[in-house]
Amino acid sequence: MGKKRLKIYIFVAVLAIIGISSYMAIKYYVYGEVYTSRPEILAGSDLDRIMQQHEENIYKPEKEANQRPYSVLLVGLDSKTMDSGRSDTLMVALVDQKNKKVSLLSIPRDTRVQIAGRDLDKITHAHNYGINSTIMTVEDFLDIKIDYYAQINFEGFQSLVNTLGGVTVDVEKNLSFRDRITNTQFSLNKGTQKLNGIQALNYARFRDDWESDFGRNRRQQQVIKALMDETMNIRTITKINPILKDIGEYVETDMDFDVLAKTLTKMKNVSSKDVYSIPMKAYPTTINRISYVTIDQDSLEKVKTYIKDVFDGKNPVKMEE
């Protein structure tokens, strides 16, 4: 072997070692601040009592999550801590790496459902009993397996948006209301503009109009799509590293690091145009003087079928609004 070729081999080997070392450092030290394994269900608890029946009743695809489209439960918490508070935002994201598509389903926070192991209540209250309660409640409600969860609180969301330099959103209308987070008057003008963290959070959370949760769910998805567009140029492990460092204390997920790395690579060119909002018909109801959201059963069944088809790699057509 010539000296020149030997030098090339050594150079390539050194680069490979540096690359692997960087990857492992991010995986175990940086991502370690974000990754949280799903809590164990305590023996004898309400969830433990219903677990066997729960596992038998929900649909589970034949392939493992790393071999097919997978689901992520996105949870936005209305608290400053990660282990308490209600779920202010609940979305299910279906990530189809093969077809380079993402489907988003918003679940109104006041949706009346059977809380796992407990009574009928607003789905937002499931988180009062922990993330497992929320996951199992959503699984029962949609009859699907939740592969991963990711939850972020208010401070984390603001930090994420600010770290990205803001998000560009076409604000639907003029907004003005009292912001309970900062306890100040908040306002936004209609039109396309770049929003900072608190502006994006308040825009996504606003529901003081006749649309209530339904309008808020639409705006939440609008902001999520805007965030996707802002991250298109940083979808590599090394580039996303600073963001993970910045928001680590405000975010929790049980998604495996290798799954995240693979997704960033395969979905690097996916934009908001590739995100489909799954429609689910619902209407407000009042039961015993308490306001709820009730989901139309026919619509719910169509949603369940759509999700199962995505899991099975069928690339289903969009549902009718």
CB within 8 Å of 298: residues ≥ 6 apart: 281
In this prediction, residues 29-51 reach a mean pLDDT of: 85
* Confidence at residue 206, expressed as pLDDT on a 0 to 100 scale: 86
| Residues 42-82 pLDDT 10s | 999 999 999 999 999 999 999 999 899 999 999 988 766 66
Percent of the chain with pLDDT over 70: 88
d(CA 89, CA 110): 10
pLDDT number for residue 167: 92
Task: Find out whether 134 and 83 touch, Cβ atoms under 8 Å.
Answer: no
Q: Whole-prediction pTM value?
A: 0.88
Question: Which domains does the chain carry?
Answer: 34-311 (3.40.630.190)
What are the CA-CA distances from residue 280 to residues 2, 114, 268, 319 (Å)? 66, 18, 28, 9
- Tokens found for residue 288: 């015993």
